[in-house]
Amino acid sequence: MKDLHKIFSSFKEDFPKVYSDHEDLGKEIHGKSGPLPDKVRWLIKIAISGASHHPLALETHITKARETGVTDEEIKHALLLLIQTTGFPTFMEAYSVFKEMKKV
């Protein structure tokens, strides 16, 4: 997958060993450490990055989720769940990231 953010490309260039180890850990956790299917894992990651106010991670997770077949309706539902747990402003922040991505 092409890097979505220039800062991530810079990170990979400046810290190749850390990047490699980070990727290996991600593969281990994401793909080998439990029974959750891809769609569910990506929806969880969308909710976590939205709740944590990490817009760059949210963009990346939405992109990867779509690549595995997650629909925009499923993404919106995952984001709506933020309202009751982290509040309406947090939802709106995450939802605005989602909406801006649809414009591109």
pLDDT in tens, 54-71: 999 999 999 999 999 999
47 and 88 assigned to the same domain: yes
DSSP per position, the chain: ---S-HHHHHHHHH-HHHHHHHHHHHHIIIIIS-S--HHHHHHHHHHHHHHTT-HHHHHHHHHHHHHTT--HHHHHHHHHTHHHHH-HHHHHHHHHHHHHHHH-
Encode pLDDT of 33-52 as tens digits: 899 999 999 999 999 999 99
22 and 46 assigned to the same domain: no
pLDDT at 10: 93
Q: Which pLDDT band, with edges at 50, 70 and 90, does 104 fall under?
A: low
Q: Which two tokens stand for residue 37?
A: 């299917």
28 and 51 assigned to the same domain: no
Q: Which pLDDT band, with edges at 50, 70 and 90, does 11 fall under?
A: very high
pTM: 0.85
45 and 81 assigned to the same domain: yes
CATH of the domain at 61: 1.20.1290.10
Domain span at residue 82 reads 36-104
64 and 93 assigned to the same domain: yes
